[in-house]
């Protein structure tokens, strides 16, 4: 009886002290969250059940290198943090760090860079931020956003027109009330493909970036986090992440020829 008790206690202790990386390998699967209609990051064919998207391809390659299968758990952007906390998923791509989120989940190093661009009318296609930094140049932004913060920083002399949302800023650009609108590249390229009358996508030099991250469960033991961060560094340096992001932009109609030459993911 004593021996059996000791054996049970020992097994329970081993289970609770298993590292996050060991737990994933033992389970034989890496669970990531997937958002059904979020191309080019995630996209699910509701008939066939097939998943596509840049984070699906990155997750598949990561799982392969871990020696496990990729399991995609359907979630939403709003519920993904809760799903991490509830141990429904091991990892969620596409989450950006905020102070509130950082209290309840861990974050990876950047998965990829997302350039800030300007969609400019035909008379306002310039090469540098300084070219736009003039009082007579009107820039439309969605108020309080990262777009707003970047334009405020880079174009202190320009006239900044602030709107409640991206759509209202786009209307100002299309109607001629603004000379350009600030978007991140992941938004600007699809927007111009859908409506070429918006203008031309420009990534002014020096290129300014925001970053996309992955979220992990909040634990003191971070072997899975560390493995993923090392993997991301190697695969960013090799060009795999850049190629994967650009290739999946085809899901929203963007081709290789559409990317500004000075931008790298």
Domain boundary among 173, 194, 209: 209
Domain boundary among 190, 209, 228: 209
* Same domain flag for 100 and 221: yes
* Same domain flag for 150 and 202: yes
Q: Is the pLDDT score of 260 beyond 80?
A: yes
Does residue 265 lie in a domain region?
no
* Same domain flag for 218 and 170: no
Does residue 48 lie in a domain region?
yes
pLDDT of residue 122: 87
Q: Is the pLDDT score of 89 beyond 70?
A: yes
Please name which of 264, 257, 141 lies closest in space to residue 193, comparing C-alpha atoms: 257
* Same domain flag for 223 and 106: yes
Q: For residue range 173-230, list pLDDT tens digits in order.
A: 999 999 999 999 999 999 999 999 999 999 999 999 999 999 999 999 999 999 999 9
Domain boundary among 178, 194, 209: 209
* Same domain flag for 25 and 42: yes
Pairing status of strand 112-120 against strand 29-35: unpaired
Q: Return phi, psi of residue 71, to 5°.
A: -115, 125
Does residue 263 lie in a domain region?
no
Q: For residue range 11-47, list pLDDT tens digits in order.
A: 444 445 789 999 999 999 999 999 999 999 999 999 9
The answer to whether 241 and 43 are in contact (CB under 8 A) is no
Does residue 187 lie in a domain region?
yes
pLDDT of residue 222: 96
Please count the other Cβ atoms lying within 10 Å of the Cβ belonging to residue 122. 7
Q: For residue range 45-88, list pLDDT tens digits in order.
A: 999 999 999 999 999 999 999 999 999 999 999 999 999 999 99
Q: Find the CATH number of the domain harbouring 160.
A: 3.40.190.10
Provide, rounded to the nearest whole percent, the portion of the chain with pLDDT above 90. 88
* Same domain flag for 55 and 80: yes
* Same domain flag for 198 and 254: no
Q: Is the pLDDT score of 6 beyond 70?
A: no
Residues 134-141, mean pLDDT to the nearest whole number: 98
pLDDT of residue 121: 93
Please name which of 89, 91, 88, 82 lies closest in space to residue 111, comparing C-alpha atoms: 91
pTM of this structure: 0.85
pLDDT of residue 16: 58
Range of the domain at 156: 115-209
* Same domain flag for 205 and 217: no
> Structure tokens of 152?
């405020």
Does residue 229 lie in a domain region?
yes
Mean pLDDT, the chain, whole residue set: 93
Does residue 264 lie in a domain region?
no
Q: Is the pLDDT score of 5 beyond 70?
A: no
* Same domain flag for 254 and 201: no
* Same domain flag for 247 and 132: no
**pLDDT class of 256 with cuts at 50, 70, 90:** confident
**pLDDT class of 1 with cuts at 50, 70, 90:** low
- In the chain, the DSSP E strands lie at 29-35, 37-38, 42-44, 51-52, 69-75, 91-93, 105-107, 112-120, 138-142, 159-163, 180-184, 200-202, 209-212, 214-217
Count of the separate structural domains present in the chain: 2
* Same domain flag for 79 and 169: no
pLDDT of residue 9: 45
Does residue 32 lie in a domain region?
yes
* Same domain flag for 106 and 11: yes
Does residue 79 lie in a domain region?
yes
């Amino acid at each position: 009886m004593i021996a059996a008790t000791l054996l049970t206690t020992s097994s329970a202790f081993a289970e609770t002290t298993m590292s996050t990386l060991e737990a994933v390998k033992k389970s034989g699967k890496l669970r990531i969250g997937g958002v059904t209609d979020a191309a080019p990051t995630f996209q699910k064919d509701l008939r066939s059940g097939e998943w596509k998207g840049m984070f699906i391809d990155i997750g598949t390659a990561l799982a392969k290198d871990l020696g496990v299968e990729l399991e995609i758990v359907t979630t939403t952007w709003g519920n993904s943090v809760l799903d991490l906390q509830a141990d429904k998923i091991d990892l969620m791509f596409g989450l950006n760090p905020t102070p509130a989120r950082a209290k309840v989940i861990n974050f990876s190093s950047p998965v990829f860079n997302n350039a800030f661009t300007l969609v400019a009318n035909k008379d306002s296609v310039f090469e540098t931020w300084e070219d736009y930094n003039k009082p007579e140049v009107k820039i439309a932004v969605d108020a309080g956003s990262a777009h707003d913060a970047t334009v405020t920083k880079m174009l202190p002399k320009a006239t900044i027109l602030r709107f409640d949302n991206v759509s209202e800023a786009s209307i100002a650009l299309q109607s001629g009330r603004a000379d350009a609108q600030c978007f991140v590249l992941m938004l600007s390229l699809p927007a111009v493909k859908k409506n070429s009358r918006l203008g031309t996508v420009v990534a002014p030099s020096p290129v300014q970036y925001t970053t996309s991250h992955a979220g992990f469960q909040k634990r003191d033991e971070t072997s899975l986090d560390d493995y993923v961060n090392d993997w991301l560094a190697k695969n960013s340096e090799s060009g795999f992440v850049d190629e994967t992001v650009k290739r999946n932009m085809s899901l929203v109609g963007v081709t290789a020829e559409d990317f500004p030459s000075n931008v790298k993911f």
